[in-house]
C-alpha cells in the first residue's frame, strides 16, 4: 500500500500541495486528475521520492519512503516520467534493459533478456528492438519508456506489492496505443500492483481507472471510486467546463461530453 | 548480452594492438636518426637480459631516458584525458564536455601554477610535506573545483544546458587564465619559458619519477571509473530516471567527478594542458561502438593513448623547420575541426 499522510509542499513561498492524505491500494488503477498546475506531477514526484514533502509523510508498505534503500525500492516501484530526453544513440533493446538495473547481480541473464523482449512486445514495440532510440518518433519513444518501466517491475517482489507510477503515459500516443498503455496498467493492477496514473483525458480515466483522485489548487478536491467521484457538478466546478454525462447502453460507465468552457470565477 | 561481450573484447584487443604498434613507432622515430627500430629492440632485449651488451651509451640513453618516457606519458595522459572526457560527457549528458574546453584543465593548470610559483615561498610547507606529490595534488584540487562549479552552474532543472555549460567553461577558463596570468607576472624568466611550453602541452619534460607519480594517480582511476559504467548509462536517461532505477546518483556523481578530476589533474601536472583528446576519442568510439559506457570508457582510454602517441609522433617528426611542435598544437589542429563539426551537427538538430 502507498499512503500519504497530510502532505504539504512549497516551492519558494508558493504553496503547491496542501494537506493531501490518502491511500492507494493494490489491485486498483487510480487516476490522478486535475487542471494544469493543480499539483499532479508534484504529487507523483513526492510518491516517487524525487521530492520530499515539507511536512507529512509518504509510506510504502508501511515504511517511510526515505527509509527505503534506493535499490530495494527500485525493485518494486517503477516511474514513467512525462518525457525523457535521451540524446545518446542506444539501441531500443538496451534502453529497455536499463529497466533491469535494480535486479542485476553482475551481468544480464537470459531471463533479463526475455523480460525485456516481453515488455517490448507488450507495447507493440518488438520491431523497434534494434532501432536507435534518438531516431524514434515521440510516440515510439514513450512506448519504449513504458516498456522499460514495465521490465523494471515485471515480476512481483518476494514480499509486498509492486508500484507503477505513470505521468501522462498517453500524451504522445495515438488512439490505439493509448488503450494499449492503459490496458497494461490495468493488467499490472489485476496482478496485485498499486497503479497511479496522471491522466488528462477523463474518458480514458473513466474506461480504465477504478478510483480517481481529483486535485484542485494543491488540495485533494475529491477521491474515491471513479463513477461516484466524477459527477457532472464536480467536473464543472474543478475543470471550468460544462459537461454532459451520457449513459451508454450495455456499459456501466458513462461517456463524458465537454460542451464549452465556463467563465473562470 | 553475448554479442555485446564479444564486441567489447574484439574492440579492446584491437585498440590494445594499436597502442602497442604506435608505442613501438614512437620509440623508433625521433631527431636522433641513429636510433631506429632495431636499436630499440636491442635496448629492450638487453633490459630483460637477452644479450646485446655492446650498445653505445647514447643509444641506451636515447631509448630509455628520452623516447620511452614520452611513450609512457603519452599512454598515461591520453588514457586519462580521454576516459575523463567520456565520463564527464556521460555525467553532463552532453557529448561536448572536454576537460580542456570546459575549463577543468585550466583549473588544474591554475592549481599547478600556484604550486610552481608559490612553492618556494608561501606554499613551501606544502611542498615539503607532499614532495613530488605537491604539483599533481594542487592540479587535482583545481580540476575538482572547476568540475564541481560547472556541474552546479550549468544545470537547469536537472538537465545540463549545452550553451550554459560551454559559456560557464569559457568564464571559468578566463578566470583561471587571470589567476595564471597573475602568478606568471610574479615569476622569473625561466619559469615563464617553462610555463609557455607547458601551457601548450609537452610530453618531453617529464622524467621517470614524475611519470611514476602520475601513474600512481591515473592507473587506479582508470581501473575504478569503469565500475560506474552501468550507472552512467542509466544517468543518460536523466537524473530522476536514474534515481527511480535505484542508482545512488549523489554517490555516483561524487565519485565520477573525483576520479575524472584526479586523472586530469595528474595528467596536467605531468604534461601541461593538452586539449581535445577528451573530446575526440570518446566521440570516435561512440560513432563506431555506440554510447554504452561499459565499452566506451575503456575503449576511449585506449584510443586516447593512441591519439596522443600519434600526435606526439607527428609533433616530433612533422618537420616545419623546428625540432618539435608543442603537442597541444597538434591535438588542437585535429580536435578543433572535430569540435566544430559536432557543434554544426548539434545546431542542425536544433539543440541550441
Per-residue model confidence (pLDDT) at position A36: 92
Per-residue model confidence (pLDDT) at position A127: 97
pLDDT bin (cut points 50, 70, 90) of residue B61 is confident
The partner residues of A109 in beta bridges, in order of sequence, read none
| Residue B225 CB partners (closer than 8 Å, separation 6+) | B83, B87, B256, B259, B260, B263, B297
Residue with cell 488528462: A200
Nearest CA in chain B to A164: B244
Indicate the burial class of B352 (C-beta count within 10 angstroms; 0-12, 13-18, 19 or more): exposed
User: Nearest CA to CA, how far is B84 from chain A (Å)?
Assistant: 18
Cα torsion at B121, B125, B126, B129 (round to 10°)? 140
Question: Could you tell me if A193 and A184 are in contact, meaning their C-beta atoms sit under 8 angstroms apart?
Answer: no
A79 interface with B at CB cutoff 8 Å: yes
Alpha-carbon distance values, B30 to A52, B38, B60, B63, B78 (Å): 62, 14, 14, 10, 20
User: Across all residues in chain B, what is the average pLDDT?
Assistant: 86
pLDDT bin (cut points 50, 70, 90) of residue B305 is very high
Q: Which CATH architecture has domain B75-348?
A: Orthogonal Bundle (1.10)
C-beta atoms of B240 and A152 within 8 A: no
Which tens digits make up the pLDDT trace of B193-251? 767 777 778 888 778 988 999 999 999 999 999 999 999 999 999 888 999 999 998 89
| Residue B336 CB partners (closer than 8 Å, separation 6+) | B276
Distance CA B262, CA B5 (A): 29
A129 interface with B at CB cutoff 8 Å: no
pLDDT at A163 over 80: yes
Instruction: Check if the interface score ipTM surpasses 0.90.
Output: yes
The stretch A47-71 carries a mean pLDDT of 92
- Rounded-to-5 percentages of helix, strand, coil across chain A: 35, 30, 35
B95 interface with A at CB cutoff 8 Å: yes
Q: Looking at residue B64, what DSSP letter applies?
A: I
A22 interface with B at CB cutoff 8 Å: no
In chain B, where the domains are located: 75-348
- The three-class DSSP label of residue A224 is strand
- The three-class DSSP label of residue B184 is helix
B229 interface with A at CB cutoff 8 Å: no
CB atoms inside a 10 Å sphere around CB B302: 25
- The three-class DSSP label of residue A88 is coil
The predicted model scores a pTM of 0.89
CB atoms inside a 10 Å sphere around CB A19: 13
Per-residue model confidence (pLDDT) at position A7: 94
User: Nearest CA to CA, how far is A130 from chain B (Å)?
Assistant: 13
User: Nearest CA to CA, how far is B247 from chain A (Å)?
Assistant: 7
User: Across all residues in chain A, what is the average pLDDT?
Assistant: 93
A53 interface with B at CB cutoff 8 Å: no
C-beta atoms of A74 and B248 within 8 A: no
Name the residue facing A89 among B247, B291, B351 (closest C-beta): B291
pLDDT at A10 over 60: yes
User: Nearest CA to CA, how far is A78 from chain B (Å)?
Assistant: 7
pLDDT at B84 over 90: yes
C-beta atoms of B236 and A89 within 8 A: no
Q: Which CATH architecture has domain A1-76+157-231?
A: 3-Layer(aba) Sandwich (3.40)
Taking phi over 0 as left and psi of -120 to 50 as alpha, with beta for the rest, A37 belongs to: left
Name the residue facing A101 among B238, B246, B351 (closest C-beta): B246
Distance CA B304, CA A233 (A): 67
User: Nearest CA to CA, how far is B82 from chain A (Å)?
Assistant: 18
pLDDT at B1 over 60: no
Would you say the C-alpha torsion B13, B16, B18, B20 has a positive or negative sign?
Answer: negative
* Residue A16: φ, ψ to 5°: -100, -45
Per-residue model confidence (pLDDT) at position B76: 97
In chain A, where the domains are located: 1-76+157-231, 86-156
Distance CA B126, CA B119 (A): 8
Amino acid at each position: 500500500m502507498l499512503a500519504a499522510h497530510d502532505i504539504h509542499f512549497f516551492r519558494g513561498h508558493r504553496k503547491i500541495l496542501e494537506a493531501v492524505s490518502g491511500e492507494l491500494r493494490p489491485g486498483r488503477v487510480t487516476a490522478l486528475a486535475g487542471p494544469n498546475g493543480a499539483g499532479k506531477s508534484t504529487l507523483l514526484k513526492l510518491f516517487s521520492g524525487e521530492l520530499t514533502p515539507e511536512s507529512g509523510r509518504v509510506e510504502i508498505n508501511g515504511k517511510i519512503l526515505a527509509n527505503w534503500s534506493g535499490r530495494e525500492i527500485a525493485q518494486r516501484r517503477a516511474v514513467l516520467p512525462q518525457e525523457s530526453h535521451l540524446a545518446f544513440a542506444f539501441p531500443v533493446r538496451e534502453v529497455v534493459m536499463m529497466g533491469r538495473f535494480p535486479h542485476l547481480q553482475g551481468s544480464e541473464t537470459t531471463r533479463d533478456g526475455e523480460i525485456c523482449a516481453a515488455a517490448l512486445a507488450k507495447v507493440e514495440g518488438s520491431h523497434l528492438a534494434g532501432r536507435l532510440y534518438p531516431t524514434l518518433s515521440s510516440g515510439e519513444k514513450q512506448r519504449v519508456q513504458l516498456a522499460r518501466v514495465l521490465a523494471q517491475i515485471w515480476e512481483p517482489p518476494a514480499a509486498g506489492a509492486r508500484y507503477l507510477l505513470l505521468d501522462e503515459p498517453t500524451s504522445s500516443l495515438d488512439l490505439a496505443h493509448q488503450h494499449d498503455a492503459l490496458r497494461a496498467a490495468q493488467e499490472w493492477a489485476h496482478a496485485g500492483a498499486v497503479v497511479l496514473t496522471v491522466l488528462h483525458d477523463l474518458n480514458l480515466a473513466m474506461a480504465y481507472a477504478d478510483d480517481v483522485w481529483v486535485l484542485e489548487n494543491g488540495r485533494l478536491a475529491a477521491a474515491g471510486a471513479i463513477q461516484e467521484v466524477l459527477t457532472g457538478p464536480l467536473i464543472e466546478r474543478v475543470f471550468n467546463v460544462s459537461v454532459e454525462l451520457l449513459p451508454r447502453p450495455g456499459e456501466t460507465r458513462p461517456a463524458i461530453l465537454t460542451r464549452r468552457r465556463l467563465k473562470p470565477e | 548480452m553475448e554479442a555485446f561481450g564479444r564486441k567489447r573484447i574484439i574492440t579492446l584487443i584491437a585498440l590494445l594492438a594499436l597502442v602497442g604498434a604506435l608505442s613501438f613507432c614512437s620509440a623508433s622515430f625521433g631527431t636522433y636518426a641513429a636510433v631506429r627500430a632495431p636499436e630499440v629492440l636491442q635496448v629492450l632485449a638487453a633490459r630483460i637480459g637477452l644479450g646485446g651488451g655492446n650498445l653505445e651509451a647514447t643509444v641506451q640513453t636515447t631509448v630509455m631516458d628520452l623516447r620511452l618516457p614520452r611513450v609512457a606519458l603519452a599512454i598515461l595522459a591520453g588514457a586519462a584525458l580521454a576516459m575523463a572526457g567520456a565520463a564527464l560527457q556521460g555525467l553532463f549528458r552532453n557529448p561536448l564536455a572536454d576537460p580542456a574546453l570546459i575549463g577543468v584543465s585550466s583549473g588544474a593548470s591554475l592549481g599547478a601554477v600556484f604550486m610552481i610559483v608559490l612553492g618556494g615561498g608561501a606554499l613551501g610547507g606544502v611542498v615539503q610535506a607532499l614532495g613530488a606529490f605537491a604539483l599533481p595534488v594542487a592540479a587535482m584540487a583545481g580540476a575538482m573545483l572547476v568540475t564541481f562549479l560547472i556541474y552546479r552552474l550549468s544545470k537547469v532543472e536537472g538537465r545540463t544546458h549545452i550553451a550554459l555549460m560551454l559559456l560557464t567553461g569559457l568564464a571559468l577558463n578566463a578566470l583561471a587564465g587571470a589567476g595564471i596570468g597573475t602568478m606568471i607576472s610574479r615569476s622569473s624568466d625561466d619559469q615563464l619559458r617553462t610555463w609557455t611550453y607547458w601551457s601548450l602541452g609537452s610530453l618531453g619534460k617529464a622524467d621517470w619519477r614524475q611519470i611514476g607519480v602520475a601513474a600512481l594517480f591515473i592507473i587506479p582511476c582508470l581501473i575504478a571509473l569503469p565500475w560506474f559504467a552501468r550507472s552512467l548509462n542509466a544517468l543518460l536517461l536523466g537524473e530522476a530516471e536514474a534515481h527511480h532505477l535505484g542508482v545512488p546518483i549523489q554517490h555516483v556523481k561524487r565519485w565520477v567527478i573525483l576520479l575524472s578530476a584526479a586523472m586530469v589533474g595528474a595528467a596536467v601536472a605531468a604534461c601541461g594542458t593538452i586539449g581535445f583528446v577528451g573530446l575526440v576519442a570518446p566521440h570516435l568510439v561512440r560513432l563506431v561502438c555506440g554510447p554504452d559506457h561499459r565499452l566506451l570508457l575503456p575503449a576511449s582510454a585506449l584510443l586516447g593513448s593512441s591519439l596522443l602517441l600519434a600526435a606526439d609522433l607527428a609533433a616530433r617528426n612533422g618537420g616545419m623547420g623546428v625540432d618539435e611542435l608543442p603537442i597541444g598544437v597538434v591535438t588542437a589542429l585535429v580536435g578543433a575541426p572535430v569540435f566544430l563539426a559536432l557543434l554544426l551537427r548539434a545546431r542542425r538538430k536544433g539543440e541550441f
